[in-house]
Amino acid sequence: MAAGPDRGGRRHSSAKKSRGQQEPRWGWLKAAFLLSAAAIGGLLSWSYLGTEDGVTEVLARHSENLQDKFIEIPCSEDYDGHKRFEGCTPRKCGRGVTDAIITREEAERIRRIAERGLSLGGSDGGASILDLHSGALSLGKHFVNLYRYFGDKIQDIFTEEDFALYRDVRRRVQQRIAQAFGIHSASMYLTKPTFFSRINNTEAKTTHDEYWHPHVDKVTYGSFDYTSLLYLSDYAEDFGGGQFVFMDASSNKTIEPRIGRVSFFTSGSENLHRVEKVHWGTRYAITISFTCNPDHGIGDPVLP
């Protein structure tokens, strides 16, 4: 945005010196400046205006390959209502996106774990979840415990290699978050719920299918301190809609899912967010949640 006025300012001062003899030339320059300012202004407002009624800015496009993007924002007071764990509880808040820690191939393997698991159940509505930690799996209008329901047969569905990859991905996401917020990875604990989601445009049948409402993770789940999402399918290729949106007072900031993309953020109300409704296709992701409170920590999933 600085390019327009700065360029104009320099032209203005150089034109001033020779105003007398160069009046027509200055007039032409002024017209050119106004035209280019209008063009730049038009481009800016075009890129800021999305499909919503208000202002939308795209933080991460599907086509981009982001190394590490991080935006610091002031922390909300949500953390004060909970026990603080120095060296972990957020003092620095913000949000980040990276395409550099999980490869496309790894994300495809992780998606196949989700596909296999979810093929055993599925919600009647458009949003199904699978939690490998607790075993929770959407089935119709309810949830079942995958491990209890399928017993030993689960070993035909998932392998040790699947679970090893899942642990490794979790570990790398945890390290990336710790690095971004300047804390020790070992001071954070995986917490629940950590789960796969599969969303399509089937109409919601219960409130569990209503994923699109704005919410604050730390208000919904008191234990959360850092939330992350690993996307397992591609926006605009595998599904339409389904963008992740940070809802700030001044604008909505969207992240377009990309397979292998990790987005992460502090879980308080500085990061109010929602997911746009999926219009077509199927959107897969995994939500990986962390807490600073060891009492709320959970272990990695293990094959029964």
Ligand X SMILES: *[C@@H]1O[C@H](CO)[C@@H](O)[C@H](O)[C@H]1NC(C)=O
Please say whether the beta carbons of 279 and 203 come within 8 A: no
Is residue 236 at the binding interface for ligand X, with CB under 6 A as the rule? no
Is residue 200 at the binding interface for ligand X, with CB under 6 A as the rule? yes
Compare residues 7 and 205 and give the one whose CB is closer to ligand X. 205
- Name the one range near ligand X by CB under 6 A: 108-116, 143-151, 175-183, 246-254: 246-254
Beta strands at 142-145 and 239-241: parallel, antiparallel or unpaired: unpaired
Task: Name which position in 55, 100, 165, 298 contacts ligand X (CB under 6 A).
Answer: 55
Is residue 140 at the binding interface for ligand X, with CB under 6 A as the rule? no
Is residue 254 at the binding interface for ligand X, with CB under 6 A as the rule? no
Is residue 210 at the binding interface for ligand X, with CB under 6 A as the rule? no
Compare residues 21 and 250 and give the one whose CB is closer to ligand X. 250
Compare residues 55 and 298 and give the one whose CB is closer to ligand X. 55
Compare residues 100 and 247 and give the one whose CB is closer to ligand X. 247
| Distance between CA atoms of residues 223 and 201, nearest Å | 30
Task: Name which position in 89, 128, 223, 243 contacts ligand X (CB under 6 A).
Answer: 128
CB of 123 to ligand X, least distance (A): 5
Is residue 206 at the binding interface for ligand X, with CB under 6 A as the rule? no
- Name the one range near ligand X by CB under 6 A: 169-177, 216-224, 248-256, 295-303: 248-256
Q: Report CA 187 to chain centroid distance, whole Å.
A: 23
For the chain, report the end-to-end CA distance as a whole number of angstroms.
Answer: 57
Does residue 283 have an active-site annotation? yes
Is residue 40 at the binding interface for ligand X, with CB under 6 A as the rule? no
Question: What are the CA-CA distances from residue 188 to residues 67, 264, 279 (Å)?
Answer: 23, 14, 36
Task: Name which position in 247, 269, 287, 297 contacts ligand X (CB under 6 A).
Answer: 247
Task: Name which position in 90, 94, 117, 126 contacts ligand X (CB under 6 A).
Answer: 126
CB of 252 to ligand X, least distance (A): 4
Is residue 293 at the binding interface for ligand X, with CB under 6 A as the rule? no
| Distance between CA atoms of residues 265 and 225, nearest Å | 9
Q: Which long-range contacts (CB under 8 A, 24 or more apart) does 103-110 make?
A: 103/260, 104/259, 104/260, 106/165, 106/169, 106/260, 107/230, 107/231, 107/232, 107/259, 107/260, 108/232, 108/259, 109/162, 109/165, 110/165, 110/166, 110/169, 110/230, 110/232, 110/286
Compare residues 225 and 256 and give the one whose CB is closer to ligand X. 256
| Distance between CA atoms of residues 121 and 144, nearest Å | 9
Question: What are the CA-CA distances from residue 16 to residues 12, 27, 33, 88, 286 (Å)?
Answer: 6, 12, 15, 57, 60
| Distance between CA atoms of residues 40 and 4, nearest Å | 7
Is residue 243 at the binding interface for ligand X, with CB under 6 A as the rule? no
| Distance between CA atoms of residues 74 and 95, nearest Å | 11
Is residue 122 at the binding interface for ligand X, with CB under 6 A as the rule? yes
Compare residues 167 and 277 and give the one whose CB is closer to ligand X. 277
**Residues at the interface with ligand X (CB under 6 A):** 52-55, 122-123, 126, 128, 200, 202, 247, 250-252, 282
Which active-site residues does the annotation give?
283
